[in-house]
């Protein structure tokens, strides 16, 4: 096991943090270029499908990363979020060693291009709000939304809605949309991506 200068075991948390940021930036950039006609909400939902923990775990296992992991757990790594975390750490390491261009190439080839029917990912109409609420009920976490209506900046006749998703009164997601429902769905989508405690949720 690798150790730091003090003789303590190294972990991947800092690399995971960096890799997660690079992953999000690369995917956002690729989707923006590939789908110039899709709106923000659609791009957000497609991104969420690419980076959800189930997808990252499956890709990491196919790469064989789970065989290289030393973890302080008795659980099978394939049944945890650890492979996906390792994949994020690997992305962080590639970025530090080879730079953004190399990390972008790796993410595009190993993650984005591996997703089947990427162009249709947003058409599956996943009910992110229901997924989030169901998880909350199962794990005894209170989920609620606050939605506000504002005049549209583009057309004063049509309002815009801004929603915030909370778990146990902690803000975990934001979203906006032309309707209250769309705003809440986008907020729930972001919550499912960003909340580390929700990593085991499947969006499929």
159-170 pLDDT per residue, tens: 889 999 998 899
Q: How many CB atoms lie within 10 A of CB 78?
A: 14
Is residue 41 included in any domain, yes or no? yes
The b-or-e profile of 57-67 (16+ CB within 10 A means b, else e) is bebbbeeebbe
Domain boundary among 92, 123, 154: 123
The band of 76, judged by pLDDT with boundaries at 50, 70 and 90, is low
pLDDT, residue 166, reads 94
Count of domains for the chain = 2
Instruction: Please tell me the distance from the alpha carbon of residue 28 to that of residue 31, in angstroms, as a whole number.
Output: 5
Residue 120: active-site member: no
3-state secondary structure of 135: helix
| Residue 3, in any domain of the structure | no
Interhelix angle 100-107/13-34, rounded to 10 degrees, is: 70
Return mean pLDDT, the chain. 80
Quick check: is 88 catalytic?
yes
0.85 exceeded by pTM: no
Task: Report the pLDDT value the prediction gives residue 56, as an integer from 0 to 100.
Answer: 86
Q: What angle do CA 179, 53, 132 make, to 5 degrees?
A: 35
Strand (E) or helix (H) holding 162: strand 159-167
Domain extent at residue 84: 8-123
**Does the structure show a pLDDT above 90 at 144?**
yes
87 occurs within a structural domain = yes
Helix orientation angle between 82-98 and 13-34, rounded to the nearest 10 degrees? 80
Look up residue 150 and give its DSSP letter: E
Catalytic residue among 16, 20, 85, 122: 20
- Digit-coded pLDDT (tens) for 113-139: 988 777 766 655 567 888 788 777 777
Q: Do residues 130 and 113 share a domain? A: no
Residue 2 is assigned to a structural domain of this protein = no
**Catalytic-labelled residue, pool 16, 30, 88, 160:** 88
């Amino acid at each position: 096991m690798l150790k730091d200068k003090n003789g303590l075991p190294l972990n991947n948390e800092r690399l995971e943090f960096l890799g997660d940021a690079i992953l999000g930036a690369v995917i956002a950039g690729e989707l923006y270029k590939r789908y110039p006609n899709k709106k923000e909400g659609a791009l957000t939902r497609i991104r969420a499908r690419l980076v959800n923990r189930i997808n990252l775990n499956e890709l990491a296992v196919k790469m064989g990363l789970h065989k290289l992991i030393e973890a302080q757990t008795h659980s099978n790594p394939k049944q945890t979020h650890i492979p996906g975390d390792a994949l994020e750490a690997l992305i962080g390491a590639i970025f530090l060693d080879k730079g953004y261009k190399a990390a972008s190439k790796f993410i595009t080839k190993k993650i984005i291009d591996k997703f089947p029917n990427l162009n249709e990912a947003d058409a599956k109409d996943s009910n992110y709000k229901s997924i989030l609420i169901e998880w909350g009920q199962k794990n005894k976490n209170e989920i609620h939304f606050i939605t506000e209506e504002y005049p549209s900046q583009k057309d004063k006749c049509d309002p815009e809605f801004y929603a915030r998703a909370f778990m146990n009164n902690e803000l975990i997601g934001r979203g906006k949309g032309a309707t209250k429902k769309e705003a809440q769905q986008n907020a729930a989508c972001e919550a499912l991506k960003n909340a580390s405690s929700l990593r085991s949720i499947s969006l499929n």
